[in-house]
Structure formats: C-alpha cells, structure tokens
Amino acid sequence: MSRNEDLFTRAARSIPGGVNSPVRAFRSVGGTPRFIARAQGPYIWDAEGTRYIDYVGSWGPAILGHAHPEVIRAVQEAAVNGLSFGAPTEAEVEIAEALIARLPSLQQVRLVSSGTEATMSAIRLARGATGRNKIVKFEGCYHGHADSLLVKAGSGLLTFGNPTSAGVPAEFVAHTLVLDYNDQAAVEAAFAQHGQDIACVIVEPVAGNMNLVRPAAGFLQALRDQCTQHGALLIFDEVMTGFRVGPQGVQGLTGVTPDLTTLAKVIGGGMPVGAFGGRADIMAHVAPVGGVYQAGTLSGNPVAVAAGLATLRLIGEPGFHDRLGAQTEKLVQGLSARAQAAGVTFSADSLGGMFGLYFGAKVPTSLAEVSACDTQAFTRFFHGMLSEGVHFAPSAFEAGFVSATHDDAVIEATLDAAERVFARL
Ligand code: PMP
C-alpha cells in the first residue's frame, strides 16, 4: 500500500470519511486523496514526496502561492506575542480599515473565522435589520453550511426549498426561496409575490461552486434594482471572488454595490479569517450596538489577522491582479487549444485568478448546463493530470485557482502535461 493509501485507511478510522471537509475525499472522482506534507509557491508535496503543480490553492486563499515568505514571517512575528487574547487589537482595526478602503460596499466590517460564519451572520443581520424572514438564494451557489442555506429548489416555481442535508428540519429552510442563477424573470416573479417578506437576496456574484459561472449581463443589476425597490438587502457572497477576480471584488468589476458583503479565503491568506460588512446603518444592528447577536472566541485572531494583512498588502501592489489574470488566461487558452487539437470537447473561462474547465462545447451559464457536461471525461482528465503531477480540484463542480507564483514555466509544464492527457482521453 502507498503511504497516501495507508494514511487514508488510518484516517477513516478516526475521522468520518478520513477527511475534515467532504470534497477532499475524492468521492466524485474516486481514488485516494493525496495527504499533503508541505507546500511552496505553486507546488504541493504529498506524504510520498511527490510534487504537484497546485490549482486548488487551499480552495482560494493561496493567491500569493503557498508559504509566501512575507506572510510566513508576519505569522511568526505575531505568534511570539501570543496566539489569542479575546480582547481587541490594533491589527484588527488595521485589517478592517484595509478592507473598507478597498471594497466599495464596506463602511463597517466584523471579523469571523470562516466563510460559513460570515454568510450565516450576514443573513441573520439582514433579517434583524429588515424585520423580515424570507431569503432568496440561487441553485448552485454555495454559501457555507448554515442550516437555512443547505437547501435546493422545491418542486415548481416559487415554492420554498427542501433541505439538502440530513439534520436540517424542513421548517428551517421554509423561509428560503431557491431560484435558478441568471434567471432574472424568476427573481422578478419572486419579488412580485413575496416582496414584502424578503429580507435579502444572497448571491455569489460570480459563481465558483458550480464550476465557474458568470452572471449574465444585467443579472446583478436586476438583483440590485429588485432589492432596492422592495426594501430587501442585497448580499454579495465574495468569500471566493473577493480580491480573487480583481482588487475590488466583483462589485468593483461590475459597479453593482451590494448592501452587505461576505469575505473569507484570500483575506486570511491561508489562516482562518472571514468577514461580513456593508452599510454603516445596517451594521449598527450588530451587537453590542444593536440587537443582532454575533460573536466568536477566536474572531479577529491576531495570528490569522497578521497573515491577512500581509496578504492584502502584497496583493495591493500595482498591477498584481492584471498579472494574475494574464497568467490565468494563458492557462485556460492553452488548455482549450490543446483540447481542440486532440479533438476533445472542452471549453474554459477565467476571471482574474479564478478559472473554470468544462467538458462541454460551450461555457455554461447555469447549474443545469454545468451538470450536462461530461463528468466521466473530467474524471479521466483529473486522474491523468494528477499522474502527470498536476493537482486540479477533485470535482467537476469546482472552480480552479491560479497564484502569483504560477509563472510561464509552471503554466507551460501544465500545458505539456495536458497535451499528453488529452491525447489519451
Ligand atoms: N461562500 C462561498 C462563495 C464559498 O466558496 C465558501 C467556501 N468554499 C463559503 C461561503 C464557505 O466558506 P468556509 O468554507 O470558509 O466556511
């Protein structure tokens, strides 16, 4: 047995499925997950010492590449002063100010420790601030695992959702309306019927949890207009897209400003940091100022915040996102060209440092279109690339990530591997 297999067998005895987050278990692609021993720049090494070019990047945070020396130094310097105080620090103020200075929608921000906490808190806040119960989410968007968000569309248009997880009572999702992404007419119909009762619309403004799916022209603006017209709050879940697609998130790219924004991943630079923030009058509802309770023992953790601050400083350098976007485009264009040359049905898209690969003829615009892609071809591609030393997300429903350390040589090595793998598909 290989060391990865050995560890996986051992892990499954003490951890459910051998993993601490389900997608890591390789269930949809089969095979044995790689147990990672270390990472540096664009590379990860598994427990057997095998090196892979990594396009997962811890699912988004590793925008500077793994173990960036300045981020590591910031963490080390913070750690020697104590790991957690449960009291305010100057660094928390600095990161709040840095986030507010960068994102158009933020006037105030509260730190948490994960994306799940950020979205859960933002939704509670939206309900508390509006005094309404119903929320709108979109099929294929993932916002973490809070009960009311683990929901799929019910049967029929404008019916409330069904839980997607055991342990979530139907009553807990009875206020969640689930609509198709990019279906503007459905949004208008939902507001026409329930406008008085809708607290918020939460959306991934560029979806990255059903592979990469862009918003259709006018979709985000339509959400903005409907929310404004009906007194509901618009929440952009930029946990994945924040500082990933550009220096000001999707809100900076589109000019559509949400009332609330949720963040995580990049803002922690690989450490557990999340945040929610937005208009000051709405944030005034958060405890201890207002009546919406929200708290965390490790919120604003000094070591995590140090990693986040170092990361934000480095990605704030002029031209950072232009260079990142250009490298990502080289990757997806190169993959498309090699697939085409090999006669493989394939398309790809990218935005900033985030990309989607689809085993279908055209770039999808909805979960239904993503689901219609050839998942068996994806699985063969995934394992082929892994055996060539390239680590993509182990699911056809995840976006991929490029870091600042994916230079031309790394991209070329990836494309050479892809050429061999496409030829075998
Ligand atoms: N929202 C989005 C858009 C995400 O991509 C994720 C995680 N992939 C989350 C929320 C949940 O974040 P976390 O895993 O940190 O709880």
- Measured CA to CA, the distance from residue 238 to residue 225 in angstroms comes to 19
HSE-CB of 406 using CA atoms within 13 angstroms: 32
Quick one: which atom of ligand 1 is closest to the CA of 265?
Answer: 15
pLDDT of residue 154: 75
Residue 160 confidence (pLDDT): 76
User: Which pLDDT does position 155 carry in this prediction?
Assistant: 67
Closest C-alpha to 135, from 143, 147, 126: 126
Tell me, using a 6 A CB cutoff, whether residue 239 lines ligand 1.
yes
Q: What angle do CA 134, 135, 141 make, to 5 degrees?
A: 155
List beta partners, residue 358: 347
* Residue 153: per-residue pLDDT: 82
What pLDDT, in 10s, does the model give residues 352-380? 999 999 999 999 999 999 999 999 999 99
Rg over CA atoms, the chain: 21
> Given ligand 1 and candidates 112, 141, 202, 209, which is best to mutate, with the most ligand atoms within 8 Å of its CB?
209
Query: What CA–CA distance (Å, rounded) separates 239 from 375?
Result: 26
Q: Which of 244, 220, 250 is nearest to 234 (CA)?
A: 220
Q: Which amino acid is located at 266 in the chain?
A: V
CA of 141 to the centre of ligand 1 (A): 10
For the question of an ipTM over 0.90, the answer is yes
Phi, psi of 347 (to 5 degrees): -145, 165
Mean pLDDT, the chain, rounded, equals: 97
Domains of the chain in sequence order: 3-67+318-424 (3.90.1150.10), 70-315 (3.40.640.10)
The HSE-up count of residue 267 (CA atoms within 13 Å, CB side) is: 36
The verdict on the CB of residue 261 being under 6 Å from ligand 1 is no
Q: What is the pLDDT of residues 76-133, one digit of tens each?
A: 999 999 999 999 999 999 999 999 999 999 999 999 999 999 999 999 999 999 999 9
139-157 pLDDT, tens digit per residue, is 999 999 999 999 998 766 5
Give the distance from CA 95 to its chain's centroid: 20
For residues 302 and 309, the answer to whether their CB atoms sit within 8 Å is no
Q: What is the distance in A from the centroid of ligand 1 to the CA of 342? A: 35
What is the spatial distance between Cα 408 and Cα 412, in angstroms, rounded to a whole number?
6
- 3-class SS at 392? coil
DSSP H helical ranges for 80-197: 90-102, 115-130, 184-194
Residue 235 CB less than 6 A away from ligand 1:
no
Which of 52, 54, 180, 265 does the annotation list as catalytic?
A: 265
Name the phi and psi angles at 91, rounded to 5: -60, -35
